[in-house]
Amino acid sequence: MATGTRYAGKVVIVTGGGRGIGAGIARAFVESGAQVVICDKDESCGRAMEQELPGSVFVLSDVTKEEDMKSLVSETIRRFGRLDCVVNNAGHHPPPERPEETSIQGFRQLLELNLLGMYTLTKLALPHLRKSRGNVINISSVVGMIGQPQAVPYVATKGAVTAMTKALALDESQYGVRVNCISPGNIWTPMWEKWAAAMPDPTAKIQEGTLAQPLGRMGQPAEVGAAAVFLASEANFCTGTELLVTGGAELGFGRKAAQYTVPTEAQ
Ligand SMILES: NC(=O)c1ccc[n+]([C@@H]2O[C@H](COP(=O)([O-])OP(=O)(O)OC[C@H]3O[C@@H](n4cnc5c(N)ncnc54)[C@H](O)[C@@H]3O)[C@@H](O)[C@H]2O)c1
């Protein structure tokens, strides 16, 4: 693997770095010369990434467990002596659920993973990021801005991630720590594949996801990785920003009413 110098000598933690978008981000940072600490709760994919990427280290850890996040940060400092960037990527999109099908407990668990997991690690990392005048990159989602049918809990967690990014950017600017988020659209990952497989017609769902972008294709994890390296290494005057990596999915007007089944009594 060719190693560049855009982020040479820097140390980056990537959560959920074992596969999908997180793996794309970990690869992009290694290619830019950084040392990468991969956090994942899935040991097999985390170890496989560690093998693939020279200069990376895998730490088996779950972002919803505060003790795991403490060990992740202390292990990073023990091995590399510094921390320059935290990429909060680990997250989950549950299968489609109408509001009446959602459970409060399920919503609470999703908040723990998609929102509080990000905050826990960030809070623990801040003393080190202040020393290095580093940065945080949260992986949000375009649906946090534009909504998505049958996904109230997911959309709420991602809207909160984007809002949290802006609030933290304000508080941390005095320490020279930048805080930004990336909002991907449809990116072809194991999560997307699993999500489509759970649909009555997976091929039609994938086709729909492909055509949702004016660019006529889904994005690749490497393209989110490129955006993350840009934010960390070159976007020195960007903080509190939401970088859309969507192939233009949010642009224009389109037929939207047909997505919903209107209950008979409301017709
Ligand atoms: N794929 C998309 O189209 C898309 C679009 C917008 C936003 N996102 C966001 O991007 C992020 C990554 O999505 P993906 O599609 O790559 O998902 P994925 O399921 O393919 O990969 C997620 C990785 O995170 C790990 N993980 C899950 N829970 C964890 C936990 N508690 N602790 C540590 N690791 C954990 C998994 O083991 C896995 O390796 C998520 O936050 C998701 O919401 C994805």
Domains, the chain, in order of start with CATH, read: 11-184+220-245 (3.40.50.720), 191-218 (no CATH)
Average pLDDT in the 137-141 region?
99
- By alpha-carbon position, which residue is closest to atom 25 of ligand 1? 16
The pTM for the full model equals: 0.96
Pick the atom of ligand 1 nearest to 187's CA.
3
Residue 36 predicted with pLDDT over 80 = yes
15 contacts 39 by C-beta, under 8 angstroms: yes
Query: With a 6 A CB cut-off, is 35 part of the ligand 1 pocket?
Result: no
Contact 192 CB / ligand 1 (< 6 Å): yes
Average pLDDT of the residues in 156-161: 99
Cβ of 68 less than 6 Å from ligand 1: no
Q: Say if ligand 1 is within 6 A of residue 84 CB.
A: no
What are the residues facing 86 on neighbouring strands?
13, 136
Q: Where does residue 154 rank: exposed (0-12), middle (13-18), buried (19+ CB within 10 A)?
A: buried
Q: Express each pLDDT in 68-119 by its tens digit.
A: 999 999 999 999 999 999 999 999 999 999 999 999 999 999 999 999 999 9
C-alpha 80 to ligand 1 mean position (Å)? 26
pLDDT at 267: 43
